[in-house]
Amino acid sequence: MKFAFIIDPLDRLIPGHDSSVALMEAAQTLGHEVWVTQANELSVIGGKTWGLLSPVTLTPVNLVEGRWVAAEVWYEVEAPTLQPLEAMDAVFMRTDPPVNVPYLYATYLLDYIDPAKTLVVNSPQGLRDANEKMYALQFEGAIPETIVSQSKQVIRQFVEKKGAAVLKPLGGKAGEGILFLEKGDRNLNSLVEISTHQGTVPVMVQTYLPEAKDGDKRIILLNGKPIGAINRIPTGNEFRGNMAVGGRVAKTEISDRELQICSQLAPVLQRDGLYFVGIDIIGGYLTEVNVTSPTGIREIDLFNGVSLGKEVIEWVVSH
């Protein structure tokens, strides 16, 4: 089969960490063709989505002394050719956030792939519908007490009522812009003004979960089914557990409560064509649903001796 990956530039990816590389390696190892393109290389011509597609050959990472080690030159990429994306059997949309206007436009271009010919992971409509922060709000009982507002007064009242809260930009990634808000902080107004761009952009504010110190669990779901998990534990003076800000990763299991949350999400994710998803859970509460380019495969593979990439590719082949 032919697999196309819409990704950020290859030279920006970290082969021992990025799930996109793990997925591409898995496809290649299973004997499939791997092609790459970028969101700014998509077009609609004659009512069909086309892309400047380049075949790529990867040198898979090796496990050395408990970590993934990549070759110095870990990919070879050939010159691109303009092709219809329907020539591919599957297309993975793996461009990193922010979900800005160019990103949304790319999803509109992907609408012109015939789903009967080519599976798009994740669905362009699903990507538009599922803001990674807002999407979680529909799962009552699974999320901590949460508000979304651009009003300084509303946010301040929430923080004063709860004593402590976490503010999240609606379009960020990797922990960027997440703030710990505390009742009585003299900088509170300024923090809210900066985050909301002077009251013009809404943000999410959630009650602070003290269990965050024990870790922020990432669970990978494939077509609604949990297939692996990793715990990300804050280090030093950092309250965020994200790997991008130095969170320590640790082996973990999926609890009964977390399985219940996955079951609650499954039919909605399947309905929306969100096949490959990473959810974040702190203290038994769902905090985010990551649909754009969820990561965690490499770390789960490392701790559990599995290959989630192969499991994902095999699922795509069977569908």
Catalytic (active-site) positions: 133, 168, 218, 232, 240, 280, 288, 290
Instruction: Provide the token pair at 237.
Output: 């003076």
Distance between start and end Cα atoms, the chain: 12
- The label of the residue with tokens 């969820």 reads 294
Task: Report the distance separating Cα 6 and Cα 52, nearest Å.
Answer: 10
Amino acid sitting at position 153:
Q
Task: Report the distance separating Cα 227 and Cα 219, nearest Å.
Answer: 8
- The label of the residue with tokens 């809210």 reads 192
Helix count and strand count (H, E) for the chain: 8, 19
Contacts of 102 (CB under 8 A, 6+ apart): 39, 40
- Cα angle 143, 147, 151 (rounded to 5 degrees) comes to 165
